[in-house]
Structure 1
Amino acid sequence: MAGPVAFFAVFFAWPVVAIVARGLKADGVWRLGRVVDVISQSGIRHVLWFTTWQALVSTALTLLVALPGAYVFARLDFPGKQVLRAVVTVPFVLPTVVVGTAFLALVGRGGLLDDLWGVRLDTTVWAILLAHVFFNYAVVVRTVGGLWAQLDPRQEEAARMLGASPLRAWRTVTLPALAPAVAAAALMVFLFTFTSFGVVQILGGPAFSTLEVEIYRQTSELFDLSTAAVLTLVQFVAVGAVLAVHAWTVRRRESTLRLVDASVTARRPRGAGQRAVLAGVLATVAVLLLLPLAVLVGRSLEAPDFGYYRALTRTDGGTFLVAPIWAIGNSLEYAVAATAVAVVIGALAAAALARGDAGRIVRGFDALLMLPLGVSAVTVGFGFLVALDKPPLDLRQSWILVPLAQALVGVPFVVRTMLPVLRAVDGRLREAAAVLGASPWRVWREVDLPMVRRALLIAAGFAFAVSLGEFGATVFIARPDQPTLPVAVARLLGRPGDLNYGQAMALSTILMVVCAVALLVLERLRTDRTGEF
């Protein structure tokens, strides 16, 4: 636990405390009364209420829509499955400003639905909820589906032979085994929607505002750091309460699971029921995920002769010090470095949690790892600039600052993906290897690693994807001559003119392609030639 604790203390707790202290401290005196003043404002209470209920509804809708997809990818085998799995994950890595813009082009004024049927959903909560489902669909599919694919199907088949209906067998056998993964996925979706920024800002208009949007408005538009600091504390307390309830209510049932080779659990669809579920999932993916992406690609191709793409190679637009196309290489370099950091820190943390005795310290450490998903990225970005400006950690001019900020968001995904599988490893296997003379390192290499290799690769893919699309903190610390893809897209969207908008759509399309290729390679590497993980 020492490595992950030190990492979070230096690169998360210290920056957040530094920026909050700057907002609530004046002339060496803490202005704690400011907390009551801010919370008592009716507008702030309205923001708190909207932030909470839209996150709950978004989480419920995402689970309802995505759980059938998790079943299809875990249990059914069909042509194009690996390609579709990569495509499903693409929306999750898109910057939230791009997600909001894609849905605006779909459901907003002059969008596809407006042109066809005169239907507009922009400036309504429905557009926000749909965009949140679009964004978080892959979280449920890959987190729940990763464990579901390794559950022994013979347990459910035994229940069916004893007379249970398919629904009862799933409810009494499979669902309890999936409960930890479902809870972990729901927690991540809730945290992402609770701190939603770009989607709400673009689709909600002035009528809707989450805590994250309000923190950004108070910081960048009103320059009121004290109010922003109070809202950051409120967000921190709310997220901490959610994590505490999660740790208290979720029982550790992974040890009762029986895991098998995932390559033998997926079968061709049999019967009308499985074919209907597969058709429904494919239709959902086509309408909810592929259609907004298609609109995005179409907008990038509106200029003749790929004009928007060719403009990415020029520096005469005045938006960047370098050609926007350089953002692709920058993002890939940062993402690889951030993935390496996130996998190392996350794997150490998951191993510590899996072998812990579930005491208060271990449970508190588990909750600590999830905090970066629920704390304002705007606060973390500003905190990096404020806290990491003096030796021995004067990193403001160092390239490593961006991967460190991105890794903070990637570590929770690594932990939540690997932890259920690590806890499901039968401890007697380790004991048997130790009795036969294997060292602790060899026990890990020969027993644990073969069983968690698939989860480790999925965790690495998630960390890479999150790093590619991270925007909130990166926008404050990325150097002008080394922009990332999300930062470049946001800057182009913030400038008027069709050329800037078209270049933003072109860069977003490139980001989608890069992510899809990376995830497709990951899917190909998940299994070796023998089909074993």
Structure 2
Amino acid sequence: MCLKQFAASRLALAGLPLSFLLLLAIAPLCRLLAEGGMQFHLDLLSDPYLRGRLWWSLGQAAATCLACVLVGVPLAWLLARYRFYGRAVVLRLLMLPFVMPTLVAAMGVLALFGPHGLFGVNLQDTPWLLLYGNLFFNLPLVVRAACDGFAQVPASRLAAARTLGASPWRAFWRVEWPAALPWLLSSLCLVFLYCFSGFGLALILGGQRYATLEVEIYSLVAYELNLADAGALALLVLLVCGAAAAAYAWLARRLATAAKAEPLPLRPASNPLERLALTLAMAVLLLFGGLPLLAVCWRGLGAASSWLALWDEDVRLALWNSARFTALTVLLAGGLGLLHAFASGRSLAMRAAMFLPFIISPVCAAFGLLLLYPQWSAASGLLLGAYALLAYPFVAKAVLAALDGQPAHWAAAARSLGASPWRTFLRVQWPLLQPALRRGLAFAAATAVGEFAVTLFLSRPEWLTLTTLIYQRLGRPGQANADAAMQLSCLLMLLALLAFWIIETAGGAGAKEGDRADAAQSE
């Protein structure tokens, strides 16, 4: 009887998130496939322009992966092997680009290398602008993953290789590299997925000459109303993203079976060459991960137009909409994420369904919703539902990881002492879940603040947000509009940093202790 009740409660919990996925992900995806599947044929790619967009989309994603390997692996090795004051802070700050809205990153890149850029080099209408923006977002991800991979190297195995006469270079290739490779490959799958299906950076930094397939889909729908070709291209994007996601799932599954034993202890930089290498590593991280954000602040604070002049009706409306959409999205994502996590248990199907919104790009998701529910395109509920669809997997993933990490005997001990299931949950499980829930909600809030593609497809003038207002100001001529776009980007960055601050407060004490330990060991 207890097993039947448990199964029934698990099924009841799964009902709402599964229904949500069916209505806002699976059904729109099927509608999109029907729109593009009937029209998809090889003749579509015989068009030199569309074929060029496909090859550029694949090429810039592959080039970003290669650049992340060449730059990120040495940085990760240094972070994994040496200790220095502030190392824990550096590792946590590697998450910062991930929670930054794409428009903020795009504005930072333009402030550095666009017209009138701080470096005096105009890279607009060149492929390098988009590639640099891709590195801003994805290099920290590769560095963090590879650093965790290098930390898995067993100390005894590396010591045995050195004892048998292997040089440091040979020991790296035969012992360290195989241990870090699964972590690196799984992160590169995500990098390829983010770059190939990215929209905001490609729209702002790529321009018409270096538009990706995602930008082309938006142009076909918004400007030409060519739904057939847009659906066919969206189907092509889904096929490529699905293949990349399948590769990521396979590698993540292989990674989950890896055992961690005898991690190598960190050592201080003992000679000038090692200290120089660490200094150069921090400089590279600053170049690709920090300068765009600092440039946004510099250009925004130093803009010729005053901040008071920026405070007009459109800005007030955009701030209000961004704040309320984010708050409502956090509430929806929190409820759906908790239900999905609790309903998942050991179910492989439920755990796989959690990653469905990650596979579908925001452009494809918004396009599918527009095709399936045209009568609701003017309803704010559809926009909020799309926001929640993209945000709630962060909550579900974080909470499920926390549930997996809870010792089963704690809840069993509480039940054996007479606690009811509800009291056991409130007094034992819930306090342990709160840090993970806060982190998931923070990522969900950051996703909602910076969401751009869905807003362009489904938004109305009265639903103006900061992201769409920045895009509007960029499309208008004049230095005043460019200054206003930089100032609005500062506001958008502040909203995203507020979500990041929530993440920091959840683990701030541990990070401070890590810094103190690094400093004490260095002395």
Letter aligned with residue 187 of structure 2: A
Q: CA deviation at 1:132?
A: 0.2
Partner residue, 1:28:
none
Corresponding residue of 2:215: 213
**How far has the Cα of 1:298 moved from its partner?**
2.7
Correspondence for 2:108 among 102, 125, 136: 102
Distance 2:113 2:510 in 1: 45
Question: 1:12: Cα distance to partner?
Answer: 1.7
Pair 1:332-2:347 in alignment: no
Report deviation, 1:308: 3.9
User: Is residue 241 of structure 1 aligned with residue 261 of structure 2?
Assistant: no
Q: Which amino acid aligns with 2:25?
A: F
**Alpha-carbon distance in 2 for matches of 1:484, 1:335:** 10
* Contact preservation (8 Å) 2:57, 2:213: yes
Comparing 342-351 and 493-502, the one that deviates more: 342-351
Q: Which residue of 1 aligns with 2:518?
A: none
The CA distance in 2 between the partners of 1:167 and 1:350, in whole Å, is 44
Give the AA of the match of 2:270: G
Q: Give the deviation of 1:124 after TM superposition.
A: 2.7
Q: Does 1:397 align with 2:379?
A: yes
Shift of 1:402: 3.7
Change (3 A) 1:100 1:524: closer
Q: What is the identity, as a one-letter code, of the residue corresponding to 1:492?
A: R
Q: Please, which of 82, 86, 98 is the counterpart of residue 92 of structure 1?
A: 98
Deviation digits for residues 137-186 of structure 1, max 9, x if unmatched?
A: 344456676x679x7x7x73444554558778877777777666545433
Q: Distance in 2 between matches of 1:8 and 1:512?
A: 30
User: Cα 1:291–1:192, aligned 2, differ >3 Å: closer, same or farther?
Assistant: same
Deviation at 1:54, TM superposition (A): 1.8
Q: TM-score scaled by structure 1?
A: 0.75
Contact 1:385 1:396 in 2 (8 A): no
1:8 to 13, 21, 31: 21
CA distance in 1, matches of 2:184, 2:323: 31
Moved more, 376-385 or 165-174: 165-174
Q: 1:259 to 1:485 in 2, by over 3 A?
A: farther
Q: Distance in 2 between matches of 1:478 and 1:419?
A: 32
Contact 2:82–2:269 (Cα < 8 Å) also in 1: no
**Structure 2 counterpart of 1:375, one-letter code:** I
Per-residue Cα deviation, 1:79-137 (whole angstroms, up to 9, x for no partner): 56676567544443444344334323322444333x3xxx5433332322221010223
For the residues of structure 1 that align with 2:328 and 2:176, how far apart are their CA atoms? Answer: 37
Q: Residue 430 in 1 paired to residue 430 in 2?
A: no
Which residue is 2:62 aligned to? 56
Distance (Å, rounded) in 2 between the aligned partners of 1:343 and 1:142 = 26
1:27 aligns to what? none
Matched, 1:380 2:365: yes
- Equivalent in the alignment of 1:473: 454
Structure 1: distance between partners of 2:78 and 2:122: 32
Bigger helix fraction: 2
Partner Cα separation in structure 2 for residue 207 and residue 529 of structure 1 = 47
- Give aligned-pair identity as a percent: 31
Partners of 1:271 and 1:419 in 2: how far apart?
42
- State whether residues 217 and 234 of structure 2, in contact with CA within 8 Å, keep that contact through their aligned partners in structure 1: yes
With normalisation by structure 2, the TM-score equals: 0.76
Alpha-carbon distance between aligned partners in 1 of 2:469 and 2:170, rounded to the nearest angstrom: 51
Q: 1:43 aligns with which of 33, 37, 49?
A: 49
Alpha-carbon separation, structure 1, partners of 2:392 and 2:239: 21
Aligned residue among 134, 137, 140 for 2:139: 137
- Does residue 485 of structure 2 align to residue 486 of structure 1? no
Q: Check 1:283–1:382 CA distance in 2 against 1; reply closer, same or farther (3 A cut).
A: same
Q: CA deviation at 1:289?
A: 2.6
Structure 1 379/239 Cα, relative in aligned 2: closer, same or farther at 3 Å? closer
Cα pair distance change 1:475/1:340, threshold 3 Å: same
Q: Is the 8 A contact 1:232 1:375 kept in 2?
A: no
Residues 514-523 or 381-390, more deviating: 381-390
Q: Which moved more, 1:35-44 or 1:463-472?
A: 35-44
CA RMSD across the alignment: 4.3
Instruction: Give the counterpart letter for 2:408 in structure 1.
Output: R
Give the Cα–Cα distance (whole angstroms) in 2 for the partners of residues 530 and 256 of structure 1.
26
Deviations, residues 449-470 of structure 1 (Å, cap 9, x unaligned): 84x7665554443332222211
Cα pair distance change 1:447/1:227, threshold 3 Å: same
| Structure 2 Cα separation of the partners of residues 35 and 246 of structure 1 | 28
Q: Which amino acid aligns with 2:154?
A: E
* Distance change >3 Å, CA 93–CA 433, structure 1 → 2: closer
Distance 2:391 2:181 in 1: 23
Note the C-alpha offset of 1:510. Answer: 1.8
Counterpart of 1:509?
A: 490
Rounded to whole Å, the distance in 1 between the matches of 2:437 and 2:191 is 21
Question: What secondary structure does 1:506 align onto?
Answer: helix
- The one-letter code of the counterpart of 1:59 is C
**Alpha-carbon distance in structure 2 between the residues aligned to 1:112 and 1:532:** 37
Q: Deviations over 1:451-498 (max 9, x none)?
A: x76655544433322222110002233443342221221122122222
Q: How far apart are the structure 2 equivalents of 1:167 and 1:345?
A: 49
DSSP-derived class of the 1:207 partner = coil
Does the CA contact (< 8 Å) of 1:372 and 1:408 recur in 2?
yes
Task: Tell me if the contact between 1:218 and 1:228 (Cα under 8 Å) persists in the aligned partners.
Answer: yes
Number of the residue aligned with 1:297: 297
AA of the residue aligned to 1:238? V
* Residue in 1 that maps onto 2:3: none
Report the secondary structure of 1:123's partner residue.
coil
TM-fit CA distance, 1:388 = 4.3
Q: What are the Cα deviations for residues 354-398 of structure 1, in whole angstroms up to 9, with x where unaligned?
A: 724x5xx46xx62x54443453423433443454466xxx58433
CA displacement at 1:70 relative to structure 2: 5.8
Q: Find the aligned partners of 2:393 and 2:46 in 1 and give their Cα distance.
A: 33
- Asked if the contact 1:343–1:411 (Cα under 8 Å) also holds between the matched residues in 2, the reply is yes
Letter in 2 for 1:299: R
Match of 2:193 among 191, 194, 199: 191
- The secondary structure found in structure 2 opposite 1:481 is helix
Q: Which residue of 1 is the match for residue 309 of structure 2?
A: 311
1:279 counterpart = 2:279 = yes
